[in-house]
Amino acid sequence: MLNNFVMPDLYPAAPELFLATMACVILLVDLFAGPARRWLTGSLTLLTLIGCAAVTFLTFDGTSSLTFANMFIDDPVADFLKFLVCIAVVVVLIYGRDYMAERNLDKGEYYLLVLFATLGMMVMISAYNFLTLYLGLEMMSLSLYAMVAIDRDSPRATEAAMKYFVLGALASGLLLYGMSMIYGATGTLELGLVAQALQDGVANRTIMVFGLVFLVAGIGFKLGVVPFHMWVPDVYHGAPTAVTLFISSAPKLAAFAMALRLLVSGLFGMADQWQTMLMIMAVLSIGIGNLAAIAQQNIKRMLAYSGISHMGFMLLALMSGVVGRETDPMALVNAYSSAMYYSVAYVIMSLGAFGMVLLLSRAGYEAENLEDFKGLNKRSPWFALMMMVIMLSMAGIPFFVGFFAKFTVLLAAVAAEHVVVAVIAVMFSLVGAYYYLRVVKLMYFDAPVDSAPIRASVDMKILLSANGLAVALLGLFPNTLMMLCTATLVRSL
Amino acid sequence: MNSSLLSLAIWVPIIGALPLLALGSERRELVRWLALAVAIAGFAVTLPLYLDFDRQFVGMQFVEMAPWIPRFNVQYFLGVDGISVLFILLNAFVTILVVLAGWEVIQEKVAQYMAAFLIMSGLMNGIFAALDAMLFYVFFEASLIPMYIIIGVWGGPSRVYAAFKFFLYTLLGSLLMLIALFYLFLQAGGSFNLLEWHQLRLTMTPQILIFVAFLIAFAVKVPMWPVHTWLPDAHVEAPTGGSVVLAAIMLKLGAYGFIRFSLPILPDASHYLAPMMIALSLIAVVYIGFVALVQADMKKLIAYSSISHMGFVTLGFFIFNQIGVEGALVQMISHGFVSAAMFLCVGVMYDRMHSRQIADYGGVVNKMPKFAAFFMLFAMANAGLPATSGFVGEFMVILGAVKHNFWVGFAAATTLILGAAYTLWMYKRVVFGAVGNDHVAELTDIGWREFLVLALLAAAVLAMGIYPFPFTDIMHASVDNLLKHVAMSKL
């Protein structure tokens, strides 16, 4: 085997290396800074993430390169998603800062867990080998389990963390088992070689399908789609809202990347198999997610179910790449770029929605029931407008980004001749419109029950406004983001 | 011809609404005047559309084209023909009336109220001007948002129910339409251009399926029997301004959809399914006419009368002759004036009495003679009396229908009896007779602002009834062209 040490090319992994180094530095700084200078940890974390985004941006060259013995890939899709992950985490930290501080949860561990989870996501996004993927996934997941339980005294959070951990570990086990099957059939862990083996027809198809089922189950769990969705509402509900905000945003991008790498880069030769599986999961998610969301009184649970249905929509695009058994490059690009666009749009909307929940929460008070949004228009017309924009966008009403996300996905589905599935999907999004409109109704039609003024730091207010405006502006001018998704994907496929 | 008049017609009201929202609800008087100024400006920019319209030219005028979403070849493609230009004018005109009508009645959240109407006005101009199917669709759906807010915030006791019903009902239709639009996009080789779609060849099965998808979208909006049930709720609960816009403009969107989408894109399916469409239209005309007769609530009565009148419009479209289609279009414009006026009249009484029940009134003429005179005129127009605008459209459609088939024309003509019966009977019970009760005795006649609003509408109703030529003249070439498209098989 390898007889001599070869220094790997570190340049493609520059953002990860930067983040890992800084995380270790912050670990030490936090140790010596102590509780009195806690702000130092927080600020350094923010700067690190912004720096990481900058490094990702600066090292972007529009080409794909492999490193670490083909275990790690740095392609435009990876750079784009990593950049968005960093930005999303920055937003999460700013939205959640006051919330965590008021509950005395903004300890060093919180920031470090955020950093390590981010690192895990970035590794996941760049994985080109089953092992790298699994490493990144576990790094992210373990950090997230701990973050959910960060409020040690809350029984609800502990329960949620326990559920998340047990089910998450099970899913990781399934994923690993699937990977081992595929390894057994192809003799390699590298995604490119797996694809090659499939193309050459040397892999045992039965074992491959067997492994594929487990892989898809693992992906389904991480995305939180039916029938692997049970953890989503409980974890979203139980976790501190700032952590829910985190779980609902950046990891979705990483999970999308995981699905893209495994299914498209690795197992594309079995597209006809996994497309059917994804179709079942997509339809069930859109249906059950939207129906269950209606019954929720807690907005975190409602958004959890809504997230399930959104991920179902994302899968709808992911399964529309290959028509029949023909591979049409145009259809591929349309399908996968719209899945990516949908994920990005969802993250932007989800950040805004949970940001609003955080905005209304204050010391000793969790604004997590739908009732808490009553009469928001009286209390703050501006933020009521922003929330309305976000809710209508999630419902898929134009001119907001959520509409164009649904637009691209449905167009891809219709182009792939899945007209019936598309019709089912739009019918359930009609059901979905009901509960989003209910939030608008509470804000605009009802009188306020809580007249406390909305207090939040200026930077959060500005950022939240920018978030709401982004949802509106990306809807008025949707082309740029669509093109970015398409262009990066074309250069990576 | 290249101009930005249509863009102005869309964006002037929408952008003009933003400073209103920024002003907030403190400075009410300023907000009202500003809203009026924006509405008048919005009307002013649409005037050249009528004045400079080339009546001989077949095709789209004032065309604007710019890429909007090049990724999916969606264009910001605007243009009007002789059909749509009238609705843009009507819409801009009605917006002024709505601002005036809400002047004193609305005391809460004035800025948001005015802004919602202005934004809606801009969006609806967008629907009428869009020649790109996606652009049409986004305006079509976006216009639901302000209406939902208007009904829900300023509406009556069960406004929440009505607002949800309105929104979800209409969304149901438009979502199916979206899928049909995607199908057409793919068939057309990646284009949302409506004018190209008019030339697109399609076989019968897809034509029928797409027709049904469009039918659900537009039938809900028109509304046609049996998907009309949201309309009475929405009308009863909406504030007066909301009812006016709903009746005068929003209902026209569905009918407009038929002439812009269904007829020219799917001529064979249109012909094939015409008997069904005619049957549905006649049910609306006759059955809903009877339903209107028994209503105890004035707004509900006018709502049902609207459905019945819109049945005339769809009837006119699906008999495929020039006089029928033109009559239907005239009926649409006329109904825009008359229904707006009727709802405003009910609003005038409601503001004073806070009741819409016919039984609570009686002898209003004794206390409000000026108002009673206006109300009389509009009631007559609603009943289709000659020399009012209501007569022209109905008469033309009946003529066209008789040409098509005598019994269809006969059934349609019953509206002249039914319409007169429910409108005039209501008028008699509300206005004539001795003063009904103490509340009626305390009524005061209309003020100058109400007088102005009603007088403007009265002038329009009479002008259109006596000399409809300016309205029919402008649409002539376009209707001709439309019928040519419909007559050409695409199989």
Q: In the structure encoding, which two tokens stand for residue A384, read together?
A: 């009521």
Angle at A371 between CA A369 and CA A377, to 5 degrees: 120
Which residues are bridge partners to B314 per DSSP? none
Cβ within 8 Å, pair B168-A430: yes
Residues of chain A with C-beta less than 8 angstroms from the C-beta of B205:
none
Q: For residue B113, is pLDDT > 70?
A: yes
Spatial separation of the C-alpha atoms in residues B345 and B380, rounded to whole Å = 13
What are the distances in angstroms from CA A347 to CA A80, A470, A483, B148? 14, 12, 18, 27
Domain boundaries, chain A: 268-493
Least Cα distance to B109 among B50, B150, B58, B162 occurs for: B150
Least Cα distance to B317 among B222, B406, B196, B229 occurs for: B222
Spatial separation of the C-alpha atoms in residues B119 and B353, rounded to whole Å = 30
Spatial separation of the C-alpha atoms in residues B110 and B34, rounded to whole Å = 11
The residue type of B222 is V
**Residue A62 confidence (pLDDT):** 80
Q: In the structure encoding, which two tokens stand for residue A382, read together?
A: 């501006």
B235 neighbors B165 (Cβ within 8 angstroms): no
Residue A362 — φ and ψ, nearest 5°? -150, 180
Instruction: Say yes or no: B69 contacts chain A, CB-CB below 8 A.
Output: yes
Spatial separation of the C-alpha atoms in residues B153 and A443, rounded to whole Å = 10
Spatial separation of the C-alpha atoms in residues A39 and A36, rounded to whole Å = 8
Q: For residue B278, is pLDDT > 70?
A: yes
Cβ within 8 Å, pair A433-B168: yes
B79 three-state secondary structure? strand
Which DSSP category does A128 fall into? -
What are the distances in angstroms from CA A284 to CA A59, A202, A277, A312? 40, 34, 11, 8
Distance of CA A455 to the CA centre of its chain: 29
Question: To the nearest 5 percent, what fractions of chain B are helix, strand and coil?
Answer: 75, 5, 20
Residues B156-168: what's their mean pLDDT? 87
Predicted confidence (pLDDT) per residue in B436-460, tens digit: 777 777 777 788 888 888 888 888 8
Contacts of B298 (CB under 8 A, 6+ apart): B346, B349, B356, B357, B358, B426, B430
The residue among A407, A431, A469 with the most chain B CBs within 10 A of its CB, best to mutate, is A407
Least Cα distance to A403 among A462, A448, A341, A450 occurs for: A341
Contacts of B82 (CB under 8 A, 6+ apart): B53, B55, B474, B475, B476, B477, B478, B479
Helix axes B144-154, A419-444, angle to 10 degrees: 30
Spatial separation of the C-alpha atoms in residues A404 and A478, rounded to whole Å = 7
The position carrying tokens 């249905």 is: A309
Q: In the structure encoding, which two tokens stand for residue B475, read together?
A: 């649409």
Spatial separation of the C-alpha atoms in residues A264 and A259, rounded to whole Å = 8
- Burial of B481 (C-beta count, 10 Å sphere; 0-12/13-18/19+): middle
The string of DSSP codes covering B313-373 is: HHHHHTT--HHHHHHHHHHHHHHHHHHHHHHHHHHHHHHHHS--BGGG---HHHH-HHHHH
Q: For residue B348, is pLDDT > 50?
A: yes
Residues of chain B with C-beta less than 8 angstroms from the C-beta of A411:
72, 182, 185
Torsion on CA atoms B435, B436, B441, B445, rounded to nearest 10: -70
Cβ within 8 Å, pair A399-B138: yes
Q: For residue B365, is pLDDT > 90?
A: no
Of all residues in chain B, the percent with pLDDT exceeding 90 is 9
B389 — pLDDT class (breaks 50, 70, 90): confident
Which DSSP category does B95 fall into? H
Predicted confidence (pLDDT) per residue in B30-83, tens digit: 888 888 898 899 898 888 888 888 888 888 888 888 888 888 888 899 888 888
Residues of chain B with C-beta less than 8 angstroms from the C-beta of A377:
109, 112
CA atoms in the 13 A half-sphere facing the CB of B355:
13
Q: Which residues of B384-394 are buried (b: 16+ CB within 10 A; e: fewer)?
A: bbeebbbbbbb
Q: For residue B210, is pLDDT > 50?
A: yes
Instruction: Say yes or no: B153 contacts chain A, CB-CB below 8 A.
Output: yes
A388 neighbors A444 (Cβ within 8 angstroms): yes
Q: In the structure encoding, which two tokens stand for residue A294, read together?
A: 């209606």
Spatial separation of the C-alpha atoms in residues B177 and B197, rounded to whole Å = 15
Q: For residue B151, is pLDDT > 60?
A: yes
**Residue B191 confidence (pLDDT):** 87
Spatial separation of the C-alpha atoms in residues B134 and B126, rounded to whole Å = 11
Spatial separation of the C-alpha atoms in residues B315 and B407, rounded to whole Å = 13
Question: To the nearest 5 percent, what fractions of chain A are helix, strand and coil?
Answer: 75, 5, 20
Spatial separation of the C-alpha atoms in residues A164 and A232, rounded to whole Å = 8
**Residue A1 confidence (pLDDT):** 52
Instruction: Say yes or no: B168 contacts chain A, CB-CB below 8 A.
Output: yes
N-to-C CA span, chain B? 34
Cβ within 8 Å, pair A398-B72: no
DSSP collapsed to 3 states, A402-426 = HHHHHHHHHHHHHHCCCHHHHHHHH
Query: What does pLDDT average to over chain A?
Result: 89
Contacts of B483 (CB under 8 A, 6+ apart): B320, B321, B322, B325
**Residue A323 confidence (pLDDT):** 64
Handedness of CA A12, A16, A19, A23 (dihedral sign): negative
Q: Is the peptide bond before B226 cis (omega within 30 degrees of 0)?
A: yes
Q: In the structure encoding, which two tokens stand for residue B457, read together?
A: 């509408």
* Chain A residues contacting B via beta carbons under 8 Å: 377, 381, 385, 392, 397-399, 403-404, 407-408, 410-411, 414-415, 419, 422-423, 426-427, 429-430, 433-434, 437, 440-441, 444-445, 478-479, 482-483, 486
Instruction: Say yes or no: B24 contacts chain A, CB-CB below 8 A.
Output: yes
Neighbour count for residue A269 (Cβ, 10 Å): 18
Predicted confidence (pLDDT) per residue in A356-383, tens digit: 998 888 767 788 888 888 888 888 888 8
Q: For residue B204, is pLDDT > 90?
A: no
Q: Where are the alpha helices (DSSP H) in A149-190?
A: 155-186
B124 neighbors B143 (Cβ within 8 angstroms): yes
Spatial separation of the C-alpha atoms in residues B253 and A320, rounded to whole Å = 33
Instruction: Say yes or no: B344 contacts chain A, CB-CB below 8 A.
Output: no
Spatial separation of the C-alpha atoms in residues B400 and B408, rounded to whole Å = 10
Nearest CA in chain A to B144: A397
Q: In the structure encoding, which two tokens stand for residue B8, read together?
A: 């102005």
Chain B nearest CA to A306, separation (Å): 18
Chain B nearest CA to A211, separation (Å): 35
**Residue B2 confidence (pLDDT):** 54
Residues of chain B with C-beta less than 8 angstroms from the C-beta of A434:
164, 168
Residues B236-257: what's their mean pLDDT? 88
**Residue A325 confidence (pLDDT):** 58
DSSP collapsed to 3 states, A3-18 = CCCCCCCCHHHHHHHH
Cβ within 8 Å, pair A422-B179: yes
**Residue B1 confidence (pLDDT):** 47
Q: Which DSSP helix (H) or strand (E) runs through B69?
A: strand B61-69
Spatial separation of the C-alpha atoms in residues A283 and A269, rounded to whole Å = 23
Instruction: Say yes or no: B113 contacts chain A, CB-CB below 8 A.
Output: no
The string of DSSP codes covering A48-59 is: HHHHHHHHHHHT
ipTM of the complex: 0.89
Which residues are bridge partners to B65 per DSSP? B77
Query: What does pLDDT average to over chain B?
Result: 86
Least Cα distance to A406 among A430, A388, A386 occurs for: A430
Instruction: Say yes or no: B119 contacts chain A, CB-CB below 8 A.
Output: no
Given a cut of 50, the residues of chain A with pLDDT beneath it are none
Residues of chain A with C-beta less than 8 angstroms from the C-beta of B168:
430, 433-434, 437
pTM: 0.91
Cβ within 8 Å, pair A483-B71: yes
Instruction: Say yes or no: B137 contacts chain A, CB-CB below 8 A.
Output: yes
Handedness of CA B473, B475, B481, B486 (dihedral sign): negative
Q: Mean pLDDT check: name the lowest of B183-197, B218-232, B426-440.
A: B426-440
Residues of chain B with C-beta less than 8 angstroms from the C-beta of A440:
148-149
Cβ within 8 Å, pair A408-B72: yes
B435-454 residues touching A, CB cutoff 8 A: none
Spatial separation of the C-alpha atoms in residues A32 and A21, rounded to whole Å = 17
Q: Mean pLDDT check: name the lowest of A454-458, B161-165, B306-310, B333-337.
A: A454-458
Spatial separation of the C-alpha atoms in residues B173 and B213, rounded to whole Å = 8
Do β-strands A65-67 and A72-74 pair in parallel, antiparallel, or remain unpaired? Answer: antiparallel
Cβ within 8 Å, pair A441-B112: no
Spatial separation of the C-alpha atoms in residues B420 and B355, rounded to whole Å = 23
Angle at A433 between CA B231 and CA B151, to 5 degrees: 35
